[in-house]
Chain A
Amino acid sequence: MEIKIGTKQILKFLYILSWIIFIGVCIEAGGFIFNTFYAMVLNPMGAENYWNGLDLSSLYNFDQGYFLVITFYMIIVAVLRALIFYLFIRLLHGKKLDLSHPFTIEFRNFISLVAYIALGIGLFSKMGMQYSAWLSTKGVTMPDLEYLRLGGPDVWFFMGVILLVISQIFKRGIEMQNDNELTI
């Protein structure tokens, strides 16, 4: 039996996958926000098991302000990651992606927006990474960047730049598509 996998099926799969990832990153972002509030306001022990075994108690005991800054970077990056997937879900859900006329201003705006968000994630990850390195020089035992979810800022920068280039190509594609539509 031959199974054909067309573009529609791939988009459907990506839509479902995006939802799963979106829910995951939302839970993570929500967890960061709640645990920061919990540790700062209700119970300092919350810093010991901050998220998925991440122990920030050393940082919390050293200085609550520094703890707040690191968690701020983590929250911003998590929220921006959730935002990317939200935008993608919104694009696919609203069926704004018409493959017979793919070069639309909406899709181009989506690509540009995701590019800027990716650059933002890269920037905040980089800042968080450098802040964490500075804290290590102060004698604070800092967990690995992967646990802080601040790793790989260069990858986000690369993605942002590539998407900006693609959005420029899309701009030209829109012009060509419009000309083609008005060619009788």
Chain B
Amino acid sequence: MPIVVNLDVMMAKRKMSLNELSEKVELTLSNLSILKTGKAKAIRFSTLEAICKVLECQPGDILEFVE
């Protein structure tokens, strides 16, 4: 898929575990895991907003377009 999710990179930079992120953004572990492993087909703006707020980053830090 051309859109790569770099969630694990940002999580490592902020030293945050998946469990912690899941609690803070109020998403289930399974959903976050789907996102992290690149299996997600789409992401809601509200979810992206919550993740960016918690990880203190921009959407471009999490989502990357690769040819």
Give the contact-size bracket for chain A.
under 10
Residue from the list B27, B41, B47 in contact with A182, Cβ < 8 A: B41
Closest CB of chain B to A101's CB: distance in Å?
A: 15
Residue of B nearest to A178 (CB): B41
Within 8 A of B (CB), among A127-154: none
Within 8 A of B (CB), among A162-184: 178-179, 182-184
Closest CB of chain B to A140's CB: distance in Å?
A: 64
Binds A, one of B9-17, B31-39, B52-60: B31-39
Q: Which residues of B contact A179 (CB under 8 A)?
A: 41-42
Q: Which residues of A contact B44 (CB under 8 A)?
A: 183-184
Closest CB of chain B to A175's CB: distance in Å?
A: 10
- Is B3 in the interface zone, CB < 8 Å from A? no
A-B contacts counted at CB < 8 A amount to: 23
- Is B43 in the interface zone, CB < 8 Å from A? yes
Measured between alpha carbons, how far is A182 from B3 in the docked complex, in Å?
A: 14
Measured between alpha carbons, how far is A183 from B46 in the docked complex, in Å?
A: 12
- Give A55-66 as 1s and 0s: 1 = Cβ < 8 Å from B's Cβ atoms: 000000000000
Within 8 A of B (CB), among A53-89: none
Measured between alpha carbons, how far is A178 from B39 in the docked complex, in Å?
A: 12
Measured between alpha carbons, how far is A182 from B40 in the docked complex, in Å?
A: 5
Measured between alpha carbons, how far is A184 from B26 in the docked complex, in Å?
A: 11
Q: Which residues of A contact B42 (CB under 8 A)?
A: 179, 182-184
Q: Which residues of A contact B47 (CB under 8 A)?
A: 184
Measured between alpha carbons, how far is A184 from B45 in the docked complex, in Å?
A: 9
Closest CB of chain B to A181's CB: distance in Å?
A: 9
Residue of A nearest to B35 (CB): A184
Measured between alpha carbons, how far is A179 from B44 in the docked complex, in Å?
A: 12
Measured between alpha carbons, how far is A25 from B16 in the docked complex, in Å?
A: 63
> Could you jot down 23 A-B contacts, CB within 8 Å?
A178-B41, A179-B41, A179-B42, A182-B34, A182-B39, A182-B40, A182-B41, A182-B42, A183-B40, A183-B41, A183-B42, A183-B43, A183-B44, A184-B27, A184-B31, A184-B32, A184-B34, A184-B35, A184-B40, A184-B42, A184-B43, A184-B44, A184-B47
What residues of chain A have their CB less than 8 Å away from a CB belonging to chain B? 178-179, 182-184
What residues of chain B have their CB less than 8 Å away from a CB belonging to chain A? 27, 31-32, 34-35, 39-44, 47
